[in-house]
Structure formats: C-alpha cells, structure tokens
Amino acid sequence: MPSILVVDDDPPQREIVGVILEGEGYRVETAGGGRAALKAYRRDSFDVVLTDLKMPDLAGDALLDALIREDPAACVIMMTAHGTIASAVEAMKKGAFDYLTKPIDRDALLMTVRRAADRVSLVRENRRLKEELEDRFRIENLVGSSGRMDEVRQMIRRLAPTPSTVLITGESGTGKEIVARAVHFASPRRGGPFRVINCAAIPETLLESELFGYERGAFTGAAAAHPGLFEAAQGGTVLLDEIGEMPLPMQAKILRVLQEKEVRRVGGNTPLTVDVRILAATNRDLERDMRTGRFRADLYYRLCGLVIPLPPLRERSTDVPELAEHFLARHNRENPDRRILGITPAAMERLVQFPWPGNVRQLQSAIERAVVLSSGDWIDIKDLPAEIRERPISIGQVDFEIPDEGFSFEGFEREIIFKALRKSDGVVARAARLLGMSYRTLQYRLEKFAIKKEP
Ligand SMILES: Nc1ncnc2c1ncn2[C@@H]1O[C@H](COP(=O)(O)OP(=O)(O)OP(=O)(O)O)[C@@H](O)[C@H]1O
Ligand SMILES: [Mg+2]
C-alpha cells in the first residue's frame, strides 16, 4: 500500500486526514511542520506528501520547493484554506500534483490521493522498465570471451565516458548497433534518449527533415512544426547507422552539426543548439569511399579519429558456442513450454567451423530456425540450415570427379572459399592469397553468400 506523509501544524486537522487515509489502508505518518516533514521524507521517502500551506516553521510552498529539489519525482498535494487558493495554484505551477481546499472533504481527499498514488506507481513502473532496458544493453551483456571481444569491451569502457564521436565499423551483423547502445548506456548520458537513424533506409528527400525537423509550412503537407531526431535526442545519443550510405549533401550538413552542435530546421532560420553525442556505424570501407569521392574527406577525418572495429565472427570462432547457447537460452526463457536442452556436440562442431558471412545475426537466425525445426529436445545437425549442415565436398588434388547426380557449382565454390577462410583463420586477405584471387573479388563473393538481412 502507498505511504503518505501528512503535514499540518494543527493537530486535530492532521489527525482527521490521517485517520481517513489509514481507514482506506494507506500507511500514514504525520508531521507537525515543514522541517519535521523534510526530515521524515529524507529518512523514508514517501509516495505522496499532503501538506498544509500556512505553517509557522517552514511553509508548505517552501517544503514543496525543497522536496522537488531533492527528489524531482516527489508527489506533493497542497491543503489550503479558501483565502489562499491563489498560492495553491502557484504551488501547482512549481510542480505540486494537486490541491485540496479546507475543510477537507473525505471523497475529494480519497480521490486525489488515489490519483496521486496511481501516478507514482506509473512513474515507478517506467523507471523500472528503463532500468531493465539499461541492464540489457550493459557492456557485460555482450556475449563472447574471445580476446577480440575483450578488446571491444575495453574500448567501449574507455570511449563511453567521453563526449567524442565514435565510428563503429564491421561487417553486417557483427553487432554494431548493440555496441552503440552499450556505449550510450555506459556513458553519463545513459538517462537521456538513444535514437537510431538508418541512413540507408530513409529516402534522400526525407532524410533532412527526419534529422533536423521542419517548420510549419516548410513544404506542402508541413501543417505543423516538427522537431527532428537531433532535437528529440537532446541530452542523449544519436546513432547514424550506415553512415556510408548518406548522400553527399547531407554529409556536409552532418559535418556542421558535429562542428557547431547546432541544427537548423527545414524552412527555419534560427539555429537551435543541440546537446547530443553522435555515434556512427558503417559496414563500408569509408576510406575507399573517400578516395573515390563517395564520402566527404572532411567528414571522414572527423569520424575516423575514434574507431571501434568489430571483428567478423569467423575471426573469433571460439565465441560461437557461447553465442549459440546465449540465443538458445533466450529462446528457452521466452518459450518455457518448448524448452530445448542443448546443441549436440556434432551440431556445435558444424557451427564452430562455419565461416558465418552474415556474422552474429546469421548465427542468431540459424539457432532460431533450428529451434523451430527440431523435433526433439536437442538441436542436431539435421536441424541446421542446409548451407551449415552440408559436409564440405571432399576434393583431392587431382582425382575430383563430378558425381552422376551432378552437383551445385555454387555450393562447390562456397565450400572452397570457406575452406580457404578456415585455413587462414578467417583473415580474408590471406584466404584470397590462398585462392589466387584479389581481396576485392573474394570480398564480393563473400557478400554474395551472406544471408541478406531483413529490412
Ligand atoms: N556480442 C554479442 N552478444 C550478444 N548478441 C549479439 C552480439 N553481437 C551481435 N548480437 C546480436 O546480433 C544481432 C545483430 O547485431 P546488430 O544489429 O548490432 O549488428 P549490426 O552490425 O548493426 O548489423 P547490420 O550491419 O546488419 O546493421 C542482434 O540481434 C544483436 O543483438
Ligand atoms: Mg545495424
């Protein structure tokens, strides 16, 4: 039951209010003045404070100020005689929840207190959900105990507390977004908003108004002014996802935000100061894009100072069992009636050996699929997607023969490439050398075999 502090210098008055509330099951404590109330609140923060306005030692409005200063979520109801309604209204402007007029009417009292208690529990619930979210994106929740992931965690810890822009690079599905969230929640901005904009998913014509907002009448259909993403993220962090896909004119505007910390709404004249930290992510080779003129050099140099490079999964295959178990455990938590006991050693071996062109995301969807397909308590080889399940085609140096039933050239090509990658510990440049092809050709083929992610 909610706890309530009743403050009044008139003993019978606080007695009556206290008794009514106790009769409804509230836990009530009383105080004879503002100072005593403040002391009681510091000792045991109450859900709701009901206070008289006129009191000799510390008046109700001063008590309200002090409470809100110490606890912005404090819920205070003023009790006032007719003559002082104006000051009660004044108190509401300063953040009081509501006011009651004396003599206190029982029904009005109970109704107002109930509304206040409801709001308090809503605020609490919100805070709990927010903390849960923060928890989920804590650095410690990044799965993988390989040295490479340790390095990533160390970089996040080092860079998170700074206000600097950080570029997160890595192939598709390596965890760029989850790392960006970890940076935000490990930073002093964790209480502020975290917003993501996918520069590749938004048409060029809409990108500017999404990011910067627009004034009323800025274009047909702009019936009301609209704040952009940077404004909405005030006090927090913005992730510019797939920044490599950003059109050149927008790149110039982003550079200005980075330099001036100002945005200008579309159709607006006055610049607005924004306090946001900017993170950027890309799976493109921005340096190459810069050289070919696809990416502005000034923006590139601004971004490339602090980089968190995320290694592809094939370069840290020791993380595969942990990740697979992690996704399985998540499935079990969400589907308690269809629990899977584990992954058989044979299936796990295939998972570890597979070079995962789609990285962690591909592993995640492979596990999710296997869970649905498996008929027993364990995930076995037969439950894995075909490309992972298939045994590598064995080819001798000289005596390779095409089987009577024919074979898939693509599958063959893939196996050769994966074999080369395994032999070179996942380092693409080395695998390319083994296969006698250029880095770019191999990269292109890898992209071809990557599972395309959902939009
Ligand atoms: N180290 C990790 N621990 C736990 N889950 C991870 C880890 N890395 C990635 N994931 C999960 O894998 C999926 C893909 O990660 P994320 O979306 O962050 O990748 P991305 O690099 O942004 O991919 P893309 O380039 O395709 O946008 C997400 O569901 C994410 O939660
Ligand atoms: Mg992403």
Instruction: Decide: 144 in ligand 1 pocket, CB within 6 A.
Output: yes
| Average pLDDT value for residue range 203-227 | 86
Query: 359 CA distance to ligand 1 centroid (A)?
Result: 8
- pLDDT (tens digit per residue) in 26-79: 999 999 999 999 999 999 889 999 999 989 888 999 999 999 998 888 999 999
Residue with tokens 């206290």: 18
pLDDT band of residue 451 (cuts 50, 70, 90) is very low
Instruction: Decide: 213 in ligand 1 pocket, CB within 6 A.
Output: no
User: What top-level class would CATH report for the domain 313-449?
Assistant: mainly alpha
**Mutate-to-test residue for ligand 1 from 142, 177, 284, highest number of ligand atoms within 8 A of CB:** 177
pLDDT band of residue 397 (cuts 50, 70, 90) is very low
Q: Please choose, from the candidates 314, 132, 276, the residue with its C-alpha nearest in 3D space to the C-alpha of residue 194.
A: 276
| Average pLDDT value for residue range 274-284 | 95
Give the torsion sign (CA, 91, 97, 99, 104). Answer: negative
| Average pLDDT value for residue range 422-446 | 85
**pLDDT at residue 398, as a whole number:** 42
Nearest CA to ligand 1 atom 15: 175
- Ligand that lies nearest to the alpha carbon of residue 283, given by its number in the listed order: 1
Give the torsion sign (CA, 117, 119, 122, 128). Answer: negative
Domain covering 3-133, topology: Rossmann fold (3.40.50)
CA angle 159/160/165 to nearest 5° reads 65
> Among 136-145, 360-369, 428-437, 443-452, which range has the highest average pLDDT?
360-369
Q: Residue 455 pLDDT more than 60?
A: no
Pair 30, 3: CB distance under 8 Å: no
**Mutate-to-test residue for ligand 1 from 137, 156, 178, highest number of ligand atoms within 8 A of CB:** 178
How many Å apart are CA 315 and CA 452, to the nearest integer? 20
Q: What is the CA radius of gyration of the chain?
A: 31
| Average pLDDT value for residue range 247-259 | 91
Pair 151, 198: CB distance under 8 Å: no
Q: How many CB atoms lie within 10 A of CB 352?
A: 14
Tell me if 3-133 shares its fold with 140-309. Answer: yes
| Average pLDDT value for residue range 381-402 | 68
Query: 304 CA distance to ligand 2 centroid (A)?
Result: 18
Distance from the first to the final alpha carbon of the chain: 46
Pair 455, 198: CB distance under 8 Å: no
Nearest CA to ligand 1 atom 7: 175
How many Å apart are CA 446 and CA 439, to the nearest integer? 10
Q: pLDDT above 70 covers what percent of the chain?
A: 96
Q: Which protein residues have their CB within 5 A of the ion that is ligand 2?
A: 176-177
**Mutate-to-test residue for ligand 1 from 284, 308, 360, 368, highest number of ligand atoms within 8 A of CB:** 360
**pLDDT at residue 373, as a whole number:** 86
- pLDDT (tens digit per residue) in 315-326: 999 999 999 999
Instruction: Decide: 138 in ligand 1 pocket, CB within 6 A.
Output: no
Q: Please choose, from the candidates 200, 156, 187, the residue with its C-alpha nearest in 3D space to the C-alpha of residue 309.
A: 156
For residue 363, the ligand 1 atom closest to its alpha carbon is: 12
**pLDDT at residue 115, as a whole number:** 95
Query: 173 CA distance to ligand 1 centroid (A)?
Result: 5
Superfamily of domain 140-309: P-loop containing nucleotide triphosphate hydrolases (3.40.50.300)
Q: Which strands sit side by side in the sheet containing 48-52, from one edge to the other? A: 27-31, 3-7, 48-52, 76-80, 98-101
**pLDDT at residue 433, as a whole number:** 86
Nearest CA to ligand 1 atom 23: 173
How many Å apart are CA 401 and CA 386, to the nearest integer? 22
**Whole-number Cα distances in Å, 264 to 209, 239, 261, 275:** 10, 19, 10, 14
- Strands 378-379 and 342-343, bridge-based pairing: parallel
Cis peptide before 193 (omega within 30 of 0): no
Instruction: Decide: 173 in ligand 1 pocket, CB within 6 A.
Output: yes
pLDDT band of residue 454 (cuts 50, 70, 90) is very low
**pLDDT at residue 139, as a whole number:** 87
Domain ranges of the chain: 3-133, 140-309, 313-449
Q: Which amino acid is at 173?
A: G
| Average pLDDT value for residue range 219-242 | 90
How many Å apart are CA 143 and CA 363, to the nearest integer? 13
- Ligand that lies nearest to the alpha carbon of residue 241, given by its number in the listed order: 2
Q: pLDDT above 90 covers what percent of the chain?
A: 61
C-alpha 196, offset from chain centre? 9
Query: 455 CA distance to ligand 2 centroid (A)?
Result: 11
Nearest CA to ligand 1 atom 25: 172
Query: 305 CA distance to ligand 2 centroid (A)?
Result: 21
